[in-house]
Amino acid sequence: MLPTTLLLVLASIVSAQSSDKSFLGESILRENQVQNVLEHRLASEAECKHIPTGPIEMTQCDYESIESVEEDLYKHLHELVATPFFRHFRVDLYRECPFWEENGFCMNRECGITTVDESEIPEKWRAASLSKVELPPEELRNSLPGCYYKESDYCFLDDHTEGDHVDLIANPEQFTGYSGFPANRIWSTIYNENCFGISELDLKAKVDSDDSPQSANSPTKSSLNEAQQCLEKRVYYKIISGLHASISIHLCHDWFNQTSGQWMPNLECFVSRVASHPERLKYVYFNTVLVLRAVARLGPYLSAYDYCSCNSETHEEDRFTLDRLNKVIEIAQNVGQFDESSLFKGEDANIVKEEFKVHFRNVSRIMDCVGCDKCRLWGKVQTTGVATALKVLFEMDEKALDPSTNSNLLTRLEVVALINTLHRFTESLVYVNDFRRMWAEAPNDESQKLIKEAEKALTDALQITPSPDPLLLRTHDATEIPSRRDLYRLWKERFWSFISLCRQCTSDCLSSCRRVVDSILELVHSSFQSFKTDKSAAPHSDL
Protein backbone atom coordinates (compact mmCIF):
# COMPACT_ATOMS: atom_id res chain seq x y z
CA MET A 1 0.00 0.00 0.00
CA LEU A 2 1.29 3.45 -0.95
CA PRO A 3 2.12 5.86 1.87
CA THR A 4 -0.63 8.35 2.73
CA THR A 5 1.48 11.36 1.71
CA LEU A 6 2.15 9.93 -1.74
CA LEU A 7 -1.52 9.15 -2.28
CA LEU A 8 -2.46 12.69 -1.37
CA VAL A 9 0.08 14.05 -3.86
CA LEU A 10 -1.27 11.78 -6.59
CA ALA A 11 -4.83 12.81 -5.77
CA SER A 12 -3.82 16.46 -6.05
CA ILE A 13 -2.24 15.88 -9.47
CA VAL A 14 -5.32 14.08 -10.76
CA SER A 15 -7.58 16.80 -9.39
CA ALA A 16 -5.48 19.53 -10.95
CA GLN A 17 -5.61 17.84 -14.33
CA SER A 18 -9.37 17.46 -14.21
CA SER A 19 -10.20 20.95 -12.95
CA ASP A 20 -11.86 23.43 -15.27
CA LYS A 21 -10.89 27.03 -15.94
CA SER A 22 -13.51 28.51 -13.65
CA PHE A 23 -12.57 30.22 -10.40
CA LEU A 24 -14.64 27.41 -8.84
CA GLY A 25 -12.86 24.47 -10.41
CA GLU A 26 -13.83 20.83 -10.01
CA SER A 27 -10.82 20.09 -7.84
CA ILE A 28 -11.31 20.10 -4.07
CA LEU A 29 -7.66 19.44 -3.17
CA ARG A 30 -6.03 22.54 -4.67
CA GLU A 31 -3.99 25.56 -3.78
CA ASN A 32 -5.01 29.18 -3.30
CA GLN A 33 -8.70 28.35 -2.99
CA VAL A 34 -9.33 31.29 -0.62
CA GLN A 35 -7.69 33.72 -3.04
CA ASN A 36 -9.58 32.22 -6.00
CA VAL A 37 -12.90 32.95 -4.32
CA LEU A 38 -12.15 36.34 -2.82
CA GLU A 39 -10.10 37.82 -5.67
CA HIS A 40 -12.51 36.78 -8.42
CA ARG A 41 -13.93 39.63 -10.50
CA LEU A 42 -17.56 39.46 -11.55
CA ALA A 43 -18.49 39.15 -15.20
CA SER A 44 -20.67 41.88 -16.69
CA GLU A 45 -21.95 39.79 -19.59
CA ALA A 46 -22.98 36.18 -19.94
CA GLU A 47 -20.37 34.11 -21.73
CA CYS A 48 -22.10 30.84 -22.52
CA LYS A 49 -25.18 32.22 -24.32
CA HIS A 50 -27.10 29.08 -23.35
CA ILE A 51 -24.55 26.79 -24.97
CA PRO A 52 -24.29 23.64 -22.77
CA THR A 53 -20.70 24.15 -21.72
CA GLY A 54 -21.28 24.19 -17.97
CA PRO A 55 -19.48 24.07 -15.64
CA ILE A 56 -22.57 24.11 -13.39
CA GLU A 57 -23.72 20.50 -13.69
CA MET A 58 -27.05 19.91 -15.44
CA THR A 59 -27.24 23.53 -16.61
CA GLN A 60 -26.59 25.26 -19.89
CA CYS A 61 -24.80 28.23 -18.37
CA ASP A 62 -21.73 29.01 -16.33
CA TYR A 63 -21.06 31.10 -13.25
CA GLU A 64 -20.46 34.21 -15.34
CA SER A 65 -24.00 33.98 -16.73
CA ILE A 66 -25.44 34.21 -13.22
CA GLU A 67 -23.02 36.99 -12.30
CA SER A 68 -24.10 39.03 -15.32
CA VAL A 69 -27.68 39.30 -14.01
CA GLU A 70 -26.90 39.10 -10.30
CA GLU A 71 -27.25 42.81 -9.55
CA ASP A 72 -30.58 43.29 -11.37
CA LEU A 73 -31.99 40.02 -10.05
CA TYR A 74 -31.15 40.91 -6.47
CA LYS A 75 -32.55 44.44 -6.80
CA HIS A 76 -35.92 43.19 -8.06
CA LEU A 77 -36.10 40.34 -5.55
CA HIS A 78 -35.13 42.61 -2.66
CA GLU A 79 -38.00 44.95 -3.50
CA LEU A 80 -40.37 42.06 -4.15
CA VAL A 81 -39.92 40.29 -0.81
CA ALA A 82 -40.63 43.58 0.99
CA THR A 83 -44.17 43.74 -0.45
CA PRO A 84 -47.08 42.69 1.82
CA PHE A 85 -47.79 39.45 -0.04
CA PHE A 86 -44.24 38.09 0.15
CA ARG A 87 -43.16 39.38 3.55
CA HIS A 88 -45.85 37.61 5.60
CA PHE A 89 -45.42 33.89 6.20
CA ARG A 90 -47.56 31.62 8.38
CA VAL A 91 -45.50 29.02 10.23
CA ASP A 92 -45.87 26.62 13.14
CA LEU A 93 -42.74 27.03 15.26
CA TYR A 94 -43.93 24.93 18.16
CA ARG A 95 -44.54 21.52 16.63
CA GLU A 96 -42.68 18.82 18.53
CA CYS A 97 -39.47 17.34 17.17
CA PRO A 98 -40.32 13.86 15.83
CA PHE A 99 -36.79 12.44 16.07
CA TRP A 100 -35.53 13.28 19.57
CA GLU A 101 -36.53 15.21 22.65
CA GLU A 102 -35.66 18.82 22.01
CA ASN A 103 -36.11 21.40 24.77
CA GLY A 104 -36.42 24.19 22.17
CA PHE A 105 -34.79 26.65 24.58
CA CYS A 106 -32.34 29.20 23.19
CA MET A 107 -30.70 31.48 25.74
CA ASN A 108 -29.80 34.20 23.22
CA ARG A 109 -32.45 36.85 22.72
CA GLU A 110 -31.56 36.97 19.02
CA CYS A 111 -33.17 33.53 18.68
CA GLY A 112 -36.60 35.02 19.33
CA ILE A 113 -38.98 36.22 16.65
CA THR A 114 -41.69 38.85 16.46
CA THR A 115 -45.08 37.57 15.35
CA VAL A 116 -47.90 39.51 13.69
CA ASP A 117 -51.44 39.47 15.04
CA GLU A 118 -53.79 37.87 12.54
CA SER A 119 -56.04 40.93 12.71
CA GLU A 120 -53.27 42.84 10.91
CA ILE A 121 -53.23 40.32 8.05
CA PRO A 122 -55.61 40.82 5.09
CA GLU A 123 -58.62 38.58 5.59
CA LYS A 124 -58.07 36.61 2.38
CA TRP A 125 -54.63 35.50 3.68
CA ARG A 126 -55.87 34.36 7.09
CA ALA A 127 -56.06 30.73 8.14
CA ALA A 128 -59.82 30.36 7.88
CA SER A 129 -59.96 31.72 4.34
CA LEU A 130 -56.93 29.78 3.08
CA SER A 131 -58.15 26.49 4.53
CA LYS A 132 -61.30 26.70 2.42
CA VAL A 133 -59.31 27.23 -0.78
CA GLU A 134 -55.88 25.64 -0.42
CA LEU A 135 -56.16 22.52 1.72
CA PRO A 136 -56.49 19.45 -0.53
CA PRO A 137 -59.20 16.88 0.21
CA GLU A 138 -58.28 14.42 2.96
CA GLU A 139 -58.14 11.51 0.52
CA LEU A 140 -55.39 13.32 -1.45
CA ARG A 141 -53.12 14.15 1.47
CA ASN A 142 -51.20 12.31 4.13
CA SER A 143 -51.72 14.01 7.46
CA LEU A 144 -49.64 14.12 10.61
CA PRO A 145 -50.29 16.23 13.71
CA GLY A 146 -50.00 19.84 12.55
CA CYS A 147 -48.81 19.10 9.01
CA TYR A 148 -49.55 17.19 5.82
CA TYR A 149 -48.17 16.35 2.39
CA LYS A 150 -49.56 15.26 -0.96
CA GLU A 151 -47.89 12.56 -3.02
CA SER A 152 -46.37 15.22 -5.27
CA ASP A 153 -44.91 17.21 -2.36
CA TYR A 154 -41.24 17.13 -1.43
CA CYS A 155 -41.80 18.49 2.08
CA PHE A 156 -44.29 18.58 4.92
CA LEU A 157 -46.49 21.67 4.85
CA ASP A 158 -47.80 23.30 8.01
CA ASP A 159 -51.53 23.04 8.56
CA HIS A 160 -53.14 26.41 7.80
CA THR A 161 -55.04 26.30 11.08
CA GLU A 162 -51.83 26.09 13.13
CA GLY A 163 -49.00 28.51 13.80
CA ASP A 164 -48.46 32.25 13.70
CA HIS A 165 -48.02 34.95 11.09
CA VAL A 166 -44.46 36.22 10.87
CA ASP A 167 -43.08 39.30 9.15
CA LEU A 168 -39.94 37.98 7.42
CA ILE A 169 -38.49 41.48 7.01
CA ALA A 170 -38.77 42.12 10.74
CA ASN A 171 -37.07 38.79 11.50
CA PRO A 172 -33.99 38.65 9.23
CA GLU A 173 -31.78 35.61 8.87
CA GLN A 174 -28.64 36.44 10.85
CA PHE A 175 -26.24 35.19 13.51
CA THR A 176 -28.17 34.22 16.66
CA GLY A 177 -25.55 32.39 18.71
CA TYR A 178 -27.28 29.07 18.06
CA SER A 179 -24.30 26.73 17.69
CA GLY A 180 -22.42 23.85 19.26
CA PHE A 181 -23.95 20.42 19.75
CA PRO A 182 -27.63 21.34 19.12
CA ALA A 183 -26.91 22.92 15.72
CA ASN A 184 -24.37 20.23 14.87
CA ARG A 185 -26.92 17.52 15.55
CA ILE A 186 -29.35 19.11 13.09
CA TRP A 187 -26.86 19.09 10.22
CA SER A 188 -25.40 15.72 11.15
CA THR A 189 -28.87 14.20 11.01
CA ILE A 190 -29.63 15.86 7.68
CA TYR A 191 -26.41 14.62 6.09
CA ASN A 192 -25.80 11.26 7.72
CA GLU A 193 -29.26 9.84 8.36
CA ASN A 194 -31.44 11.40 5.68
CA CYS A 195 -29.08 11.51 2.72
CA PHE A 196 -27.81 8.89 0.33
CA GLY A 197 -24.43 8.71 2.05
CA ILE A 198 -22.77 10.91 -0.57
CA SER A 199 -19.55 12.82 0.11
CA GLU A 200 -17.91 15.60 -1.88
CA LEU A 201 -15.57 12.98 -3.26
CA ASP A 202 -18.53 11.11 -4.75
CA LEU A 203 -19.61 14.28 -6.53
CA LYS A 204 -16.39 14.17 -8.52
CA ALA A 205 -16.55 10.46 -9.32
CA LYS A 206 -17.74 10.07 -12.89
CA VAL A 207 -19.24 6.79 -14.04
CA ASP A 208 -16.82 5.54 -16.71
CA SER A 209 -18.20 2.80 -18.92
CA ASP A 210 -14.65 1.76 -19.85
CA ASP A 211 -13.92 0.55 -16.32
CA SER A 212 -15.30 -2.90 -17.01
CA PRO A 213 -14.44 -5.12 -19.98
CA GLN A 214 -18.03 -5.92 -20.83
CA SER A 215 -18.97 -2.27 -21.11
CA ALA A 216 -16.37 -1.51 -23.73
CA ASN A 217 -18.87 -2.03 -26.52
CA SER A 218 -22.25 -1.46 -24.85
CA PRO A 219 -23.07 -0.70 -21.23
CA THR A 220 -25.40 -3.06 -19.40
CA LYS A 221 -28.82 -1.98 -18.21
CA SER A 222 -27.74 -2.27 -14.57
CA SER A 223 -24.72 -0.02 -15.11
CA LEU A 224 -26.94 2.62 -16.70
CA ASN A 225 -29.32 2.45 -13.75
CA GLU A 226 -26.43 2.84 -11.31
CA ALA A 227 -25.13 5.83 -13.25
CA GLN A 228 -28.57 7.43 -13.22
CA GLN A 229 -29.00 6.90 -9.47
CA CYS A 230 -25.56 8.40 -8.94
CA LEU A 231 -26.74 11.56 -10.71
CA GLU A 232 -29.80 11.94 -8.48
CA LYS A 233 -27.67 11.39 -5.38
CA ARG A 234 -25.22 14.06 -6.45
CA VAL A 235 -28.04 16.50 -7.12
CA TYR A 236 -29.56 15.80 -3.72
CA TYR A 237 -26.26 16.37 -1.96
CA LYS A 238 -25.63 19.59 -3.88
CA ILE A 239 -29.02 20.95 -2.90
CA ILE A 240 -28.46 20.26 0.81
CA SER A 241 -24.86 21.49 0.81
CA GLY A 242 -25.80 24.63 -1.15
CA LEU A 243 -28.56 25.41 1.33
CA HIS A 244 -26.11 24.92 4.20
CA ALA A 245 -23.51 27.15 2.54
CA SER A 246 -26.05 29.90 1.84
CA ILE A 247 -27.09 29.92 5.50
CA SER A 248 -23.41 30.10 6.52
CA ILE A 249 -22.87 33.12 4.26
CA HIS A 250 -25.81 34.94 5.81
CA LEU A 251 -24.67 34.20 9.34
CA CYS A 252 -21.13 35.40 8.56
CA HIS A 253 -22.40 38.56 6.88
CA ASP A 254 -24.83 39.53 9.65
CA TRP A 255 -22.53 38.68 12.53
CA PHE A 256 -22.91 40.20 15.99
CA ASN A 257 -19.64 41.60 17.27
CA GLN A 258 -19.81 41.15 21.03
CA THR A 259 -16.94 43.58 21.55
CA SER A 260 -18.47 46.54 19.71
CA GLY A 261 -22.09 45.50 20.12
CA GLN A 262 -22.70 46.01 16.38
CA TRP A 263 -23.81 43.83 13.48
CA MET A 264 -21.17 43.56 10.78
CA PRO A 265 -19.67 41.13 8.23
CA ASN A 266 -17.14 38.71 9.65
CA LEU A 267 -14.46 37.99 7.05
CA GLU A 268 -12.74 35.36 9.18
CA CYS A 269 -16.01 33.47 9.46
CA PHE A 270 -16.53 33.56 5.69
CA VAL A 271 -12.98 32.41 4.93
CA SER A 272 -13.18 29.43 7.29
CA ARG A 273 -16.70 28.33 6.39
CA VAL A 274 -16.95 29.05 2.66
CA ALA A 275 -13.93 30.55 0.88
CA SER A 276 -11.62 27.75 2.02
CA HIS A 277 -14.20 25.26 0.64
CA PRO A 278 -15.06 26.68 -2.83
CA GLU A 279 -17.20 23.65 -3.67
CA ARG A 280 -19.72 24.95 -1.14
CA LEU A 281 -20.05 28.21 -3.08
CA LYS A 282 -20.50 26.17 -6.26
CA TYR A 283 -23.59 24.59 -4.79
CA VAL A 284 -25.10 27.99 -3.97
CA TYR A 285 -24.85 28.77 -7.69
CA PHE A 286 -26.37 25.36 -8.43
CA ASN A 287 -29.35 26.00 -6.16
CA THR A 288 -29.81 29.47 -7.65
CA VAL A 289 -30.09 28.06 -11.16
CA LEU A 290 -32.42 25.27 -9.98
CA VAL A 291 -34.87 27.70 -8.35
CA LEU A 292 -34.62 30.12 -11.28
CA ARG A 293 -35.64 27.28 -13.58
CA ALA A 294 -38.68 26.57 -11.41
CA VAL A 295 -39.66 30.25 -11.49
CA ALA A 296 -39.21 30.30 -15.28
CA ARG A 297 -41.51 27.28 -15.68
CA LEU A 298 -44.02 28.88 -13.33
CA GLY A 299 -43.92 32.17 -15.24
CA PRO A 300 -47.50 32.16 -16.62
CA TYR A 301 -48.89 30.80 -13.35
CA LEU A 302 -47.10 33.38 -11.19
CA SER A 303 -48.08 36.23 -13.52
CA ALA A 304 -51.75 35.22 -13.21
CA TYR A 305 -51.64 34.75 -9.42
CA ASP A 306 -53.72 37.04 -7.21
CA TYR A 307 -51.39 39.19 -5.08
CA CYS A 308 -54.06 41.71 -4.11
CA SER A 309 -54.22 42.45 -0.40
CA CYS A 310 -57.53 44.25 -0.95
CA ASN A 311 -56.37 46.93 1.50
CA SER A 312 -55.60 49.49 -1.14
CA GLU A 313 -58.22 51.16 -3.30
CA THR A 314 -55.69 52.32 -5.90
CA HIS A 315 -54.02 48.89 -6.24
CA GLU A 316 -50.67 50.62 -6.86
CA GLU A 317 -49.04 48.27 -4.40
CA ASP A 318 -50.38 45.24 -6.24
CA ARG A 319 -49.18 46.56 -9.60
CA PHE A 320 -45.74 47.17 -8.10
CA THR A 321 -45.63 43.58 -6.82
CA LEU A 322 -46.59 42.14 -10.20
CA ASP A 323 -44.16 44.42 -12.05
CA ARG A 324 -41.19 43.32 -9.93
CA LEU A 325 -42.24 39.70 -10.17
CA ASN A 326 -42.45 39.83 -13.96
CA LYS A 327 -38.92 41.25 -14.11
CA VAL A 328 -37.69 38.35 -11.96
CA ILE A 329 -39.50 35.89 -14.24
CA GLU A 330 -37.88 37.48 -17.32
CA ILE A 331 -34.40 37.06 -15.83
CA ALA A 332 -35.22 33.50 -14.77
CA GLN A 333 -36.26 32.60 -18.31
CA ASN A 334 -32.91 33.87 -19.61
CA VAL A 335 -30.49 32.21 -17.19
CA GLY A 336 -32.54 29.56 -15.39
CA GLN A 337 -31.28 26.87 -17.75
CA PHE A 338 -31.52 23.77 -15.56
CA ASP A 339 -32.04 20.45 -17.37
CA GLU A 340 -34.56 18.61 -15.20
CA SER A 341 -35.29 16.11 -17.96
CA SER A 342 -31.99 14.32 -17.30
CA LEU A 343 -33.15 13.18 -13.84
CA PHE A 344 -35.37 10.27 -12.82
CA LYS A 345 -35.05 8.28 -16.03
CA GLY A 346 -34.92 4.54 -16.55
CA GLU A 347 -36.87 1.61 -15.22
CA ASP A 348 -36.17 2.47 -11.56
CA ALA A 349 -37.05 6.15 -11.96
CA ASN A 350 -40.15 6.04 -9.77
CA ILE A 351 -38.30 4.24 -6.96
CA VAL A 352 -35.42 6.72 -7.02
CA LYS A 353 -37.81 9.68 -7.10
CA GLU A 354 -39.79 8.37 -4.15
CA GLU A 355 -36.59 7.89 -2.17
CA PHE A 356 -35.60 11.43 -3.09
CA LYS A 357 -38.95 12.73 -1.82
CA VAL A 358 -38.80 10.81 1.44
CA HIS A 359 -35.33 12.14 2.20
CA PHE A 360 -36.31 15.74 1.54
CA ARG A 361 -39.54 15.40 3.49
CA ASN A 362 -37.43 14.22 6.42
CA VAL A 363 -35.29 17.34 6.09
CA SER A 364 -38.40 19.50 6.38
CA ARG A 365 -39.42 17.59 9.53
CA ILE A 366 -35.94 17.98 11.04
CA MET A 367 -36.56 21.72 10.97
CA ASP A 368 -39.00 21.13 13.84
CA CYS A 369 -35.99 20.07 15.91
CA VAL A 370 -34.11 23.37 15.59
CA GLY A 371 -33.87 24.93 19.03
CA CYS A 372 -33.68 28.55 17.83
CA ASP A 373 -37.00 30.06 16.71
CA LYS A 374 -35.45 32.37 14.12
CA CYS A 375 -33.29 29.57 12.72
CA ARG A 376 -36.31 27.27 12.63
CA LEU A 377 -38.34 29.93 10.82
CA TRP A 378 -35.80 30.40 8.02
CA GLY A 379 -35.11 26.68 7.87
CA LYS A 380 -38.79 26.07 7.23
CA VAL A 381 -39.05 28.88 4.68
CA GLN A 382 -36.09 27.65 2.65
CA THR A 383 -36.81 23.92 2.78
CA THR A 384 -40.36 24.72 1.66
CA GLY A 385 -39.00 26.94 -1.12
CA VAL A 386 -36.59 24.33 -2.44
CA ALA A 387 -39.24 21.61 -2.12
CA THR A 388 -41.65 23.75 -4.13
CA ALA A 389 -39.03 24.17 -6.86
CA LEU A 390 -38.47 20.40 -6.95
CA LYS A 391 -42.20 19.75 -7.22
CA VAL A 392 -42.51 22.21 -10.10
CA LEU A 393 -39.57 20.66 -11.97
CA PHE A 394 -40.27 16.97 -11.43
CA GLU A 395 -44.00 16.59 -10.78
CA MET A 396 -45.72 19.02 -13.13
CA ASP A 397 -46.11 19.01 -16.89
CA GLU A 398 -47.06 22.00 -19.01
CA LYS A 399 -50.76 21.21 -18.68
CA ALA A 400 -50.57 21.24 -14.89
CA LEU A 401 -48.76 24.60 -14.99
CA ASP A 402 -51.56 26.21 -17.02
CA PRO A 403 -53.16 28.82 -14.72
CA SER A 404 -56.46 28.70 -16.62
CA THR A 405 -57.02 25.04 -15.74
CA ASN A 406 -55.16 24.75 -12.44
CA SER A 407 -55.50 27.99 -10.51
CA ASN A 408 -54.83 26.32 -7.13
CA LEU A 409 -51.64 24.59 -8.19
CA LEU A 410 -49.59 25.98 -5.27
CA THR A 411 -50.58 27.27 -1.86
CA ARG A 412 -49.86 30.87 -0.97
CA LEU A 413 -47.13 29.79 1.44
CA GLU A 414 -45.39 27.78 -1.30
CA VAL A 415 -45.32 30.84 -3.57
CA VAL A 416 -44.01 33.03 -0.74
CA ALA A 417 -41.37 30.45 0.23
CA LEU A 418 -40.20 29.95 -3.38
CA ILE A 419 -39.53 33.65 -3.99
CA ASN A 420 -37.97 34.24 -0.58
CA THR A 421 -35.67 31.24 -1.05
CA LEU A 422 -34.51 32.56 -4.42
CA HIS A 423 -33.87 35.88 -2.68
CA ARG A 424 -31.80 34.10 0.00
CA PHE A 425 -29.59 32.37 -2.58
CA THR A 426 -29.15 35.51 -4.68
CA GLU A 427 -28.42 37.57 -1.59
CA SER A 428 -25.74 35.06 -0.59
CA LEU A 429 -23.94 35.67 -3.88
CA VAL A 430 -24.22 39.44 -3.37
CA TYR A 431 -22.81 39.09 0.14
CA VAL A 432 -19.82 37.21 -1.28
CA ASN A 433 -18.97 40.40 -3.18
CA ASP A 434 -19.01 42.33 0.10
CA PHE A 435 -16.48 39.89 1.50
CA ARG A 436 -14.36 40.33 -1.62
CA ARG A 437 -14.25 44.08 -1.01
CA MET A 438 -13.26 43.47 2.60
CA TRP A 439 -10.53 41.11 1.44
CA ALA A 440 -9.18 43.69 -1.04
CA GLU A 441 -9.04 46.35 1.69
CA ALA A 442 -7.52 44.09 4.35
CA PRO A 443 -3.79 44.49 5.14
CA ASN A 444 -1.59 41.82 3.62
CA ASP A 445 -0.53 40.43 6.99
CA GLU A 446 -4.15 40.01 8.04
CA SER A 447 -4.96 38.19 4.78
CA GLN A 448 -2.06 35.81 5.24
CA LYS A 449 -3.15 35.16 8.82
CA LEU A 450 -6.66 34.26 7.67
CA ILE A 451 -5.27 31.89 5.04
CA LYS A 452 -3.01 30.13 7.54
CA GLU A 453 -5.85 29.76 10.03
CA ALA A 454 -8.12 28.31 7.32
CA GLU A 455 -5.39 25.87 6.24
CA LYS A 456 -4.82 24.82 9.84
CA ALA A 457 -8.55 24.29 10.42
CA LEU A 458 -8.77 22.16 7.29
CA THR A 459 -5.70 20.14 8.30
CA ASP A 460 -7.12 19.56 11.77
CA ALA A 461 -10.41 18.42 10.28
CA LEU A 462 -8.63 15.97 8.01
CA GLN A 463 -6.66 14.55 10.92
CA ILE A 464 -9.85 13.94 12.87
CA THR A 465 -11.15 11.75 10.05
CA PRO A 466 -9.38 8.38 10.37
CA SER A 467 -9.63 6.65 7.03
CA PRO A 468 -7.41 4.21 5.13
CA ASP A 469 -8.29 6.02 1.93
CA PRO A 470 -6.99 9.62 1.91
CA LEU A 471 -9.38 10.50 -0.89
CA LEU A 472 -12.17 10.24 1.65
CA LEU A 473 -10.64 13.24 3.34
CA ARG A 474 -12.28 15.29 0.65
CA THR A 475 -15.64 15.14 2.41
CA HIS A 476 -17.30 17.82 4.48
CA ASP A 477 -15.55 18.76 7.69
CA ALA A 478 -15.57 16.12 10.36
CA THR A 479 -17.92 16.79 13.23
CA GLU A 480 -16.13 19.09 15.62
CA ILE A 481 -15.03 17.49 18.89
CA PRO A 482 -15.15 20.24 21.53
CA SER A 483 -12.10 20.82 23.69
CA ARG A 484 -12.32 21.39 27.44
CA ARG A 485 -11.68 25.09 26.87
CA ASP A 486 -14.55 25.23 24.38
CA LEU A 487 -16.87 23.50 26.82
CA TYR A 488 -15.87 25.87 29.61
CA ARG A 489 -16.44 28.89 27.39
CA LEU A 490 -19.82 27.56 26.24
CA TRP A 491 -21.00 26.87 29.81
CA LYS A 492 -19.75 30.28 30.96
CA GLU A 493 -21.63 32.03 28.15
CA ARG A 494 -24.82 30.12 28.92
CA PHE A 495 -24.55 30.85 32.63
CA TRP A 496 -24.20 34.61 32.20
CA SER A 497 -26.88 34.67 29.50
CA PHE A 498 -29.13 32.92 31.97
CA ILE A 499 -28.38 35.48 34.70
CA SER A 500 -29.13 38.29 32.26
CA LEU A 501 -32.38 36.63 31.26
CA CYS A 502 -33.45 36.26 34.89
CA ARG A 503 -32.79 39.93 35.52
CA GLN A 504 -35.17 40.82 32.74
CA CYS A 505 -37.88 38.37 33.64
CA THR A 506 -37.98 36.43 36.90
CA SER A 507 -41.38 34.81 36.56
CA ASP A 508 -40.07 31.81 34.63
CA CYS A 509 -36.64 31.76 36.20
CA LEU A 510 -37.01 28.50 38.14
CA SER A 511 -38.42 26.54 35.23
CA SER A 512 -35.79 28.06 32.94
CA CYS A 513 -33.09 26.96 35.39
CA ARG A 514 -34.23 23.37 35.15
CA ARG A 515 -34.17 23.50 31.35
CA VAL A 516 -30.70 25.03 31.34
CA VAL A 517 -29.40 22.28 33.61
CA ASP A 518 -31.00 19.65 31.35
CA SER A 519 -29.40 21.25 28.32
CA ILE A 520 -25.94 21.35 29.93
CA LEU A 521 -26.20 17.74 31.07
CA GLU A 522 -27.17 16.72 27.55
CA LEU A 523 -24.20 18.65 26.16
CA VAL A 524 -21.79 17.04 28.63
CA HIS A 525 -23.07 13.58 27.85
CA SER A 526 -22.83 14.11 24.08
CA SER A 527 -19.38 15.68 24.36
CA PHE A 528 -17.94 12.71 26.22
CA GLN A 529 -19.64 10.36 23.77
CA SER A 530 -17.92 12.16 20.91
CA PHE A 531 -14.51 11.36 22.42
CA LYS A 532 -15.38 7.66 22.34
CA THR A 533 -16.64 7.55 18.79
CA ASP A 534 -14.58 8.04 15.66
CA LYS A 535 -15.97 10.66 13.35
CA SER A 536 -16.12 9.99 9.64
CA ALA A 537 -17.55 12.06 6.81
CA ALA A 538 -19.85 14.69 8.24
CA PRO A 539 -21.50 18.01 7.37
CA HIS A 540 -20.21 21.52 7.59
CA SER A 541 -19.38 21.53 11.29
CA ASP A 542 -19.14 25.28 11.60
CA LEU A 543 -22.74 25.91 12.68
- Report pLDDT for 206: 40
Counting beta carbons within 10 angstroms of the beta carbon of residue 361, is it exposed (0 to 12), middle (13 to 18) or buried (19 or more)?
Answer: buried
Amino acid at the residue 60: Q
Q: Which residues are catalytic?
A: 372, 375
259 in a labelled binding site: no
pLDDT at site 294: 96
What pLDDT, on a 0 to 100 scale, did the predictor assign at position 174? 87
Q: pLDDT tens digit string along 492-525?
A: 555 554 554 454 444 445 555 565 566 666 666 6
User: Burial, 347: exposed, middle or buried (Cβ in 10 Å; 0-12, 13-18, 19+)?
Assistant: exposed
Amino acid identity of residue 151, one-letter, is E
Report the SS3 class of residue 158. strand
**Helix spans in 298-411 (H):** 299-304, 316-335, 349-366, 373-395
The kind and range of the H/E element at 149 are strand 147-150
* 176 carries a ligand binding annotation: yes
Are 425 and 288 a contacting pair, CB within 8 Å? yes
CA distance 387 to 383: 6
In this prediction, what percent of the chain has a pLDDT beyond 70? 61
Quick: pLDDT tens for 421-455.
999 999 999 999 999 999 999 888 888 888 888 77
Q: Helices marked H in 396-468 — which ranges? A: 412-441, 444-464
Domain boundaries, the chain: 4-98+142-207+221-439
* Low pLDDT (below 70) residues in the chain: 1-31, 44-61, 102-108, 127-146, 148, 160-161, 193-229, 310-314, 458, 460-543
Q: At 376, is the secondary structure helix, strand, or coil? A: helix
Ligand-binding site membership of 437 (annotated):
no
Residues 54 and 187: their CA atoms lie apart, in Å, by 29
* Cα gap 86→392, rounded to integer Å: 19
* pLDDT for the residue numbered 462: 56
Q: Report pLDDT for 285.
A: 92
Q: What pLDDT is recorded for position 226?
A: 53
Sequence-separated contacts (24+) of 23-31 with Cβ below 8 Å: 23/63, 23/278, 24/55, 24/63, 24/278, 24/279, 24/281, 24/282, 24/285, 25/278, 26/55, 26/204, 28/200, 28/201, 28/204, 28/279, 28/474, 29/474
Q: 118 vs 134, 135, 163, 540, CA distance in Å? A: 18, 19, 11, 38
pTM over 0.85: no
Q: What is the DSSP letter of 396?
A: -
321 marked as binding residue: no
The reply to whether 143 sits in an annotated binding site is no
**Rounded distance between C-alpha atoms, residue 341 and residue 394, angstroms:** 8
Per-residue model confidence as pLDDT tens digits over 84-93: 999 999 888 8
Q: Which pLDDT score, from 0 to 100, does residue 442 have?
A: 87
Residue 534 · residue 466 · CB < 8 Å = yes
Task: Report the alpha-carbon distance of residue 402 to residue 409 in Å, rounded.
Answer: 9
What are the residues facing 116 on neighbouring strands? 165
CA distances from 28 to 61, 200, 433, 514 (A): 21, 8, 22, 46
Give the DSSP H/E element, type plus range, for residue 520: helix 509-532
The confidence score (pLDDT) of residue 27 equals: 47
Cα gap 180→108, rounded to integer Å: 13
Amino acid in the structure at residue 464: I
Cis amide linkage into residue 122, ω under 30° from 0: no
Long-range contacts of 302-309 (CB under 8 A, 24+ apart): 302/329, 302/415, 303/329, 303/403, 304/403, 304/404, 304/407, 305/403, 305/415, 307/83, 307/85, 308/124, 309/84, 309/85, 309/122, 309/124, 309/125
